[in-house]
């Protein structure tokens, strides 16, 4: 399918035709033509900065933006539908999930085109169809296996949409021969089809922006949003965004990110699992930054506590919401003791967030909404905690960079291999949100797993029993884990063999790949071509 310089290389089924109409794709192309080169330049700037970090440089609070940090200013006040966000649920954009999440009783639902969705063509365009129908109030679903019917309640959660990050491309859509930015594609399509309907419904187009690493990336998004509003005759500030602080450099630039997006931003969110991944990745080549087992890197570690408290302080000083992080636990059926332990972990996590001054939090499962709501209701009698300014907090660069103490164990190495393989096998088969060992995992899990293994192998880190982590040790453990997983029932097609080959490559290569999802996406494209043949 081709029109006015836009080429769609994938099959456009009849139900996709409206979403991918010439006017909608023309709008996507306008955004890409105006901002695509800037995006590519910013991705090159990330790579250049990585080389500086490899050479021994450390992140810092930028001296050239001190004036922004020191001046008094605030962001545009949040619209009324986003004043109370005590409990938000997140999940992929498949039809049943969208209905269940909107009906879950959460204040908001973040529909995710990013880390909890594999970017297959059907998932991405199907997700746009599902969200359009949800916004229109016409969405329904019948489970073909049992005939169970799902429909949207009149009273439902406020919808927020997370497009893919600036590092990803949508390779099924070419603008003037080049793949379109995946984030621009997701954002522009949703806005084109839904903004006017949402405004008529008394809400607006609300987004979560992921993987930001620099305030100049925030500036790019600000210009994209302002351009889109002008093109669609929307008043300035109609589009509202929350930015995930899930990279170490963004933690040093929270004021600047808020300032760049001040006409559109309503808050920041502690994207803590990706933050841990990014921390490992950015310092992976540094022998003095080797982290212990993932299980030992919790929010009670000093560098993560500091990041969380600085986020609350910065947001509230600027009139923005400070959202807490994800509780990945899911209820455990048929094991009361294990379920009680899981709920206790969630309760402790949410207590800490509420007491720290966060305005709300994330859960991955509807069963945990009452737990999170009870805690935030107890600690947050109003709609939010914007008046909790946390002037007691004094966070320095050293606090944000303080290495967590701990050990590396055989169980930690095996756990990274096991979870990484299970998640990647599911992702390659089109499922980006996967229950593993009673946790709802997304791409951040596999990213932490493979970057930790790469770092440990590269620096010859020692296990707590003295054994050195090298290629032979990882291969031995990996062989055993793959053999054990061969008996695990995977839904759909079994991609374990391909997952193991790719995962090993990511762990053993001399160069550390920026994002596992990029080479994994190439495999997905290969599968789609094979299926179409």
| Polymer length in residues for the chain | 533
Are residues 217 and 184 in contact, defined by beta-carbon separation less than 8 angstroms?
A: no
Q: Which of 162, 164, 373, 495 is catalytic?
A: 162
- What 3-state class would DSSP assign to 8? strand
Task: Give the closest residue to 31 by CA, choosing from 199, 239, 197.
Answer: 239
Q: Which of 442, 450, 498, 504 is catalytic?
A: 442
> 3-class secondary structure for 280-302?
HHHCCCCHHHCCCCHHHCCCCCH
Q: Each residue of 72-93: b (16+ CB within 10 Å) or e? A: eeebbebbebbbbbbbbbbbbb
Cα-based distances in Å from 507 to 101, 478, 501 = 35, 11, 10
Active site (annotated) includes residue 442: yes
Output 345-352 pairs: Cβ under 8 A, ≥24 positions apart.
Answer: 346/371, 346/372, 347/371, 347/375, 349/299, 349/325, 350/324, 350/375, 350/376, 351/375, 351/379, 352/299
Active site (annotated) includes residue 359: no
Non-local (6+) Cβ contacts of 356 within 8 A are 308, 309, 312, 324, 390
Other Cβ atoms less than 10 A from the Cβ of 296: the count is: 16
Ranges of H-type helices in 55-119:
66-70, 95-102
Are residues 58 and 399 in contact, defined by beta-carbon separation less than 8 angstroms?
A: no
Pairing label, strands 169-175, 434-436: unpaired
Q: What are phi and psi of 138, to 5 degrees?
A: -105, 0
The catalytic site residues sit at 162, 442
């Amino acid at each position: 399918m081709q029109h006015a310089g836009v080429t769609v290389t994938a099959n456009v089924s009849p139900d996709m035709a409206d979403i991918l109409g010439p006017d909608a794709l023309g709008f996507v192309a306008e955004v890409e033509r105006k901002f695509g080169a800037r995006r590519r330049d910013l991705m090159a700037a990330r790579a250049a900065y990585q080389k500086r970090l490899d050479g021994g440089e450390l992140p810092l609070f930028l001296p050239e933006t001190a004036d922004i940090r020191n001046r008094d200013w605030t962001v545009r006040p949040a619209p009324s539908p986003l004043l109370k966000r005590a409990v938000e649920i997140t999940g992929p954009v498949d039809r049943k999930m969208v209905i269940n999440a909107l009906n879950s009783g959460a204040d908001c639902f973040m529909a995710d085109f990013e880390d909890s969705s594999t970017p297959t063509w059907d998932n991405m365009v199907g997700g746009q169809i599902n969200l359009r129908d949800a916004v229109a109030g016409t969405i329904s679903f019948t489970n073909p296996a049992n005939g169970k019917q799902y429909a949207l309640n009149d009273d439902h959660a406020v919808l927020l949409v997370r497009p893919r990050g600036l590092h990803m491309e949508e390779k099924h859509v070419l603008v003037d021969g080049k793949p379109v930015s995946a984030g621009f594609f997701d954002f522009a399509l949703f806005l084109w089809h839904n903004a006017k309907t949402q405004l008529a419904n008394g809400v607006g187009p609300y987004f979560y922006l992921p993987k930001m690493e620099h305030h100049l990336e925030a500036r790019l998004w600000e210009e994209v949003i302002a351009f889109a509003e002008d093109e669609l005759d929307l008043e300035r500030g109609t589009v509202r965004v929350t930015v995930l602080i899930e990279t170490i450099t963004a933690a040093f630039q929270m004021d600047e990110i808020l300032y760049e997006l001040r006409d559109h931003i309503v808050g920041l969110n502690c994207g803590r699992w990706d933050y841990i991944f990014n921390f490992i990745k950015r310092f992976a080549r540094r022998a003095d930054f080797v982290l212990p087992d993932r299980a030992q890197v919790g929010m009670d570690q000093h560098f993560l506590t500091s990041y969380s408290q600085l986020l609350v302080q910065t947001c509230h000083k600027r009139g923005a919401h400070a959202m807490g992080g994800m509780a990945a636990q899911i209820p455990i059926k048929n094991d009361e003791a294990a379920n009680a332990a899981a709920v206790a972990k969630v309760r402790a996590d949410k207590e800490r967030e509420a007491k720290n001054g966060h305005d709300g939090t994330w859960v991955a499962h509807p069963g945990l909404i009452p737990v999170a709501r009870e805690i935030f209701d107890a600690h947050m009698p109003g709609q939010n905690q914007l008046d909790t300014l946390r002037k007691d907090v004094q966070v320095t660069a050293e606090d944000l960079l303080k290495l967590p103490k701990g050990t590396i164990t055989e169980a930690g190495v095996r756990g990274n291999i096991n979870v990484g393989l299970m998640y990647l096998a599911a992702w390659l088969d089109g499922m980006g949100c996967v229950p593993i060992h009673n946790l709802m995992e997304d791409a951040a899990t596999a990213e932490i797993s493979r970057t930790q293994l790469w770092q440990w192998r590269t620096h010859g880190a020692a296990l707590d029993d003295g054994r050195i982590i090298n290629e032979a040790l990882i291969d031995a453990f990996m062989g055993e884990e793959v053999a054990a997983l061969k008996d695990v029932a995977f839904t759909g097609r079994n991609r374990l063999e391909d997952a193991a080959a790719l995962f090993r490559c990511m762990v053993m290569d001399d160069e550390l790949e920026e994002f596992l999802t990029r080479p994994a996406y190439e495999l997905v494209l290969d599968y789609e071509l094979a299926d179409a043949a």
